Structure 1
Amino acid sequence: MDAESLLSDLDYLSAVGITLSTEQKASLQGSLVLLKSKEKFHSIVFWGKISGIAGQYFIVQGRGKDPMKERKNLYSYDCRKWAQLPVLDATEQEKALKVHSRFMGDAAYEAEYVEPPVKEEKGDPINVVVREENRLAAIVNVIDETVFVVPRAAYVKTAQESVQKNGSFGGLSRAKAGLLSSYLHFREPVLLQNKTLLQRSNLDKSIDFMDSIDEDVPNGCWSLQMVRGGDTAVLKSLWWPGYVFFHMPGTKKYGGLYWGTGQQNRDLPFML
């Protein structure tokens, strides 16, 4: 959710329980302006909040000129002081995701899991320690890749292969706002290359360069509703409960954030 319109955009999500205190709003407004200037971000977005047992993490994402390639995630306990989340390699990411317990709310806290010995080798199971700051970075990465979306045509890919906001985007129509195919994963495409040449021929290369969420599995992992008399589309992830996105058809107003415990609904395939 764009920091510049954060306070007004939050009003659209208050009905689903996403609110900030007056003190938190004031702290965010001031600290994000300073953070953007200090880190020389092209833009900054309020990513959301992950709640722990004893504390909570507020997350923001700083972006460069190409928001698809240039991202930096930061966290705070109080919306005032921000620290960068570590950039994990593939091995660190894999280890961090093997811990499934609730977050504590303390970045220095260390959780453990048991790594069984390799089948071909003899030995005892190994206790692996994972720092919560690494877990937080890993979960933010996964949620960002899995559920953060934008409306179709909100971004364009230039001839130089860079991604930019589409200045001529005026919003989806009411009819299209009610279709899952109108929302795209804001990440590098994963499924696009699997499409046939015939399927690709129907796509506009400048705006259809991301994966549509209507292809996500399992079928039914998204909930899309038109509320306020059809004036607002509200999209929710059932895979990652807590991610909510809104869009006002016919306008440039849209935004999404995550507001949860950082736990995936692993029972979803059995619930559908």
Structure 2
Amino acid sequence: MESDSLHLCIDYVGSSGVILSPEQKASLQTSLVILRSESKLKKVYFWGKIIGIKDDYFVAQGTGNDEMTERKTYYSQDCVKWGLLPPATKIMRDQSKLAKGRFTGDPSFEFEHVETKKVGEGEDATEEEETITIKEEDRLASVIAEIDEDVSVVPRAAFVKTPTGQVKPNRSFEGLTVSESAKLCSYMHFREPKILVEKSLLHKANLDKSIDFMDTLEDDIPKGSWSLQFERGSGLVCLRSTLWLGFVAYHVPGTRKFGSVYCGTGEKNADLPFML
């Protein structure tokens, strides 16, 4: 959710258990404005909170001209001072999956994973132990990138792809209708498309390349990984992910108000296939 309207929009996700204290709200309102100015960012979003054992990580993301590709991630433990997280590389993300358990709350903490490898063949084969060290700061960057890739959601037509390939907010977007907001096909993953689904020629003819350039939630596998609910009558729609418990996206039908936030332990729900 945008930092400019954080004090108002945080109430939309209160029913999902995402609550900030008055002190945290006040600190975030001020520090995110300073972060935007000092880092020369076009927009700053409050991404959410990852709950640690000793301390929590508050996460914010800043964007440049391209909302999708020009994105930097920052973290804070006091809602005042912000540190820049390194980009999550493939090697970093693969190694981070080896770290089990919750975050400690100490960015310098190092997880250790011991792997046993077989060296040689036949009777001469021996076993060697290799220790892989994973820094918690790297794991934090990897988990945030994975959550963004799996469940970052925006309403259809909220963003537009320009002829130059940049992704920018759609100025003509006036919000989804109540009937549209009740359908999963009206929400899209805010990432490069990667789900290959065969569509009929009639369906393809109705697509607009400038706004239908992302995957829709109705194509997600497994089916049932999203919970869509109306609140305040039909004045608010909330989308909750069962893959990443703690992620919730919201939209106020008929308005430009939408956003998402994550508040959880940073652990993927591995039991989802057995829950559906």
TM-score class, shorter = over 0.9
The answer for the alignment partner of 1:5 in structure 2 is 5
**1:1-272 matches, cutoff 5 A:** 1-117=1-117, 122-191=126-195, 194-196=197-199, 198=201, 199-272=203-276
Number of matched pairs: 271
User: How far apart in 2 are the matches of 1:176 and 1:197?
Assistant: 21
AA aligned opposite 1:173: T
TM-score normalised to structure 1 length: 0.96
User: How far apart in 2 are the matches of 1:25 and 1:270?
Assistant: 38
How far apart are residue 196 of structure 1 and its match?
4.9
User: How far apart in 1 are the matches of 2:120 and 2:56?
Assistant: 42
User: How far apart in 2 are the matches of 1:66 and 1:236?
Assistant: 26
Per the alignment, in what secondary structure is the counterpart of residue 112 of structure 1?
Answer: strand
User: How far apart in 2 are the matches of 1:118 and 1:58?
Assistant: 42
Per the alignment, in what secondary structure is the counterpart of residue 62 of structure 2?
Answer: strand
How far apart are residue 160 of structure 1 and its match?
1.4
Tell me, yes or no, if the aligned pair for 1:191 and 1:211 is still in contact at 8 Å: yes
How far apart are residue 104 of structure 1 and its match?
0.3
Q: State, as a whole percentage, how many aligned pairs show the same letter.
A: 48
User: How far apart in 1 are the matches of 2:120 and 2:185?
Assistant: 46
How far apart are residue 158 of structure 1 and its match?
1.1
How far apart are residue 128 of structure 1 and its match?
1.2
Tell me, yes or no, if the aligned pair for 1:148 and 1:257 is still in contact at 8 Å: no
Tell me, yes or no, if the aligned pair for 1:58 and 1:77 is still in contact at 8 Å: yes
User: How far apart in 1 are the matches of 2:133 and 2:268?
Assistant: 21
Per the alignment, in what secondary structure is the counterpart of residue 13 of structure 1?
Answer: helix
Stretches of structure 2 that go unaligned for 5 or more consecutive residues are: none
Per the alignment, in what secondary structure is the counterpart of residue 127 of structure 2?
Answer: coil
